[in-house]
Amino acid sequence: MPELPEVETMVRGIRPFVTGRKIIEVRRGPSLCKPICMEPDWPDFNHLCTGRTIRGVRRLAKRVILELENSSQIVIEPRMTGLMLVADPPSQEHLRVEWRLEGNESPGSLWFWDRRGLGTVRLYGPGDLAVALGPDRLGPDALLATLTDWQTFCRRTRRPIKVALLDQTLIAGIGNLYASEMLFRSGIHPERPADSLKKGELTTLRKACLMILEEAIHYEGSTLSDGTYRNALNQNGGYQNAHRVYDREGLPCSNHCGNQVLRIVQAQRSTFYCQACQPPFPRGTGS
DNA sequence: CCCCAGTCCTGCGGGC
DNA sequence: TGCCCGCAGGACTGGG
């Protein structure tokens, strides 16, 4: 499931191949497959993209941004199963959008592939992106958030810290997989109310967040057993082998504490943790 | 405002 | 062997 590290890997993967190249044609379903959510509707989307040069590629939280020459932006949101590819898609079947690029060099196209079709592709005119995805919709990026940002966000909610970590308006970029991993690495119980975390715990959590996301980016993200996630060249990520708790219910705790990894459901999503290494109350507070 | 449940979607695995 | 159901979760919506 593309979270910050996977989306960052997509951005780094496609950037050298598409930067500076002109979009000469856009294709989508039904010439490819069933359409996904697109704004503006086809064919306006097509007309507004075609003939524009891609000036840059960047990540905004869990979205891929293609910066076009006229200060408009194509925003791709992969959600669960979306991939940005410059080579060999996992199947022809779920190709959703193709941007054909000018020039003879390979690749000749950039593709958005999405098996489940929950992803979205939007084009924003100059200035519109900052309004649509402003600070009220996206909090500070998880790689950039300061300790002050973390304190501010935790004071704003009594929800369990695991649930709060998934709220993109507080801190942006963290998803279900890495939320469990960073809480385990921090020794913080996932059901702790966010506003009960002490400054020292937030310092630890922030450091664990940075360490895990940077490690995951280094290993090009996590390809789970369903095999969906791939980098821009349709290769597996490597971070799944480093997971300490995610999808490890019943397996021994990675800290060798003798306990098994537990699974609970919070806000309708699985959370994995160790009851010994992540005590429900901060150490030293009694009860 | 705060928070939760429901919704979208497809493929896969468990149970019978 | 084959069918059906539940589950996976990112982001949004509606309602309490």
Provide the residue-wise pLDDT of chain A in tens; the chain has 287 residues.
799 999 999 999 999 999 999 999 999 865 566 677 888 888 899 999 999 999 999 999 999 999 999 999 999 999 989 999 999 788 888 899 999 999 999 999 999 999 888 899 999 999 899 888 988 889 999 999 999 999 999 998 999 999 999 999 999 999 999 999 999 999 999 999 999 999 999 999 999 999 999 999 999 999 887 768 999 999 989 898 899 999 999 999 999 999 999 999 999 899 999 999 999 887 655 44
Question: What pLDDT, on a 0 to 100 scale, did the predictor assign at position A38?
Answer: 86
CA distance A58 to A177: 22
Residue A16 CA neighbour count, 13 Å, CB half: 6
DSSP lists the bridge partners of residue A271 as: A264
Residue A19, token pair as written in the block = 């930067």
Span CA (A146) to C1' (B2), Å: 24
What is the pLDDT at residue A281?
Answer: 81
Measure, in angstroms, how far nucleotide B5 C1' is from residue A167 CA: 16
Looking at residue A213, what is its pLDDT? 96
A205, containing H or E segment: helix A199-218
**Is A106:A136 a contact under the CB 8 Å cutoff?**
no
Q: Which nucleotides of B are covered by protein (CB under 7 A)?
A: 2-13
pLDDT at A283: 66
Q: Measured from the CB, is A80 under 7 Å from any atom of strand B?
A: yes
| Gyration radius of chain A's alpha carbons | 20
In sequence order, the β-bridge partners of residue A270 are A265
Torsion sign (Cα): A132, A74, A28, A80 = negative
Return the sign of the alpha-carbon dihedral for residues A59, A60, A64, A67.
negative
Could you tell me the pTM of the whole model?
0.94
Helix (H), strand (E) at residue A266: strand A262-266
Torsion of CA A97, A110, A218, A268, to 10 degrees: 0
Please identify which residue in the block is written with the tokens 């524009």. Answer: A52
What is the structure's pLDDT at A287? Answer: 47
Cα–Cα distance measured from residue A281 to residue A9, given in angstroms and rounded to the nearest whole number: 36
**Which residues of A are identified as catalytic?**
2-3, 62, 269
